Amino acid sequence: MSQPLLRALQGEVQAVPPLWFMRQAGRFLPEYRALRAKVTFEQLLYDSDLAAEVTLQPVRRFPQLDGAIIFSDILVILDALGCQVTIPEGGPRLGRTLDQIPLDQPLDERVFEPVQAAIRKVKAQLPPHVAMLGFAGAPWTLLAYGLEGKGSKTWSRAKAFLHAEPVKAMAWLDRLADAAARLLNLHIEAGAQAVQLFDTWAGELDPQDYAQFSLPSAHRALAQVTAAPTLFFARTGYLPQALETMPCQGLAVPWQVPMAEARQRFPRMALQGNLDPVSLLAGPEVATRKARQIVEVMKGHPHVFNLGHGLLPETNPDTLAAVIEVVKGK
């Protein structure tokens, strides 16, 4: 029998929802911080043994997890396009932005080889019930980073580019969609049993621009991934109804959107989410109460319990453990 997470993405309603957590592999765990103190982020990213170790850390600590998401970064695609990505303590930096790179720049797939190797190593060590997950950044989010050259509070350069150069913007979004699809398919070939496309900066666009630019390119990427179930995560305060026609099996719901609303509006999809990561900082009593409410709302519908965005570095692992116990009915 397949893993509970995969059964949920296949549309099966389960009495106990499977769970995993975005950013579970990384910065909130003491064992990760101990390892990170010895090596750079790039070493973790491009050393398959280290990436595999970081991916397995939460699975060892929380044996009831149903998914292991590979430790990597969405910006590996931009690195493979020649953007010369570095990730110092202050956040990512690009040596070259996309407007300095030709649209037909070949994708250097050698950049992806360490993460493929890490997936194979993790898959060989996972408990039978745990599904192996891969991921990629969605085209708009990649374009935003690729034009700004670093993180931003406004993404003004990238947003202005959509309107100043709409033809070129759409061409780049298509190019990035194809690159994201290629990476997801490589993850699947290496052993990933499901994959998630992250549109982290979806909420930076107004609904009209999101519908015109971001959704078509995300659709293009997901349509090319058919060998394993796919999840789509658009980090917005709203969910456009057009998501109903996205070629994916699961929709990750941001914490700002009530699960009851998502269930009513997207009945054909498995839904993932959507505990507010900040609720974990309020302690186990608050976090478990809110987790119970989500589980109750989602009874009778295919559901993967998760957060509505990634785990925060300040999260107490014991609070997360309490949430897992509640979701699993222990």
Q: Which residues are catalytic?
A: 23, 27, 36, 73, 145
C-alpha 107/C-alpha 104 separation (Å) is 9
Residue 23 φ/ψ region, left for φ over 0, alpha for ψ in the -120 to 50 degree band, beta for the rest: left
Interior angle at CA 304, CA 6 and CA 253, nearest 5: 125
DSSP letter (8 states) at residue 88 = -
Alpha-carbon separation of residue 320 from 37, 46, 61, 92, 278 (angstroms): 23, 28, 11, 28, 12
Specify the residue for token string 């491009």. 46
C-alpha 78/C-alpha 172 separation (Å) is 12
Q: Which amino acid is at 161?
A: F
Is the Cβ–Cβ distance between 269 and 296 less than 8 Å?
Answer: no
C-alpha 31/C-alpha 58 separation (Å) is 9
Residue 16 φ/ψ region, left for φ over 0, alpha for ψ in the -120 to 50 degree band, beta for the rest: beta
Question: What's the residue count for the chain?
Answer: 330
Specify the residue for token string 């990512």. 92
DSSP letter (8 states) at residue 253 = P
Among candidates 141, 137, 78, which has minimal Cα distance to 111?
78
C-alpha 193/C-alpha 127 separation (Å) is 14
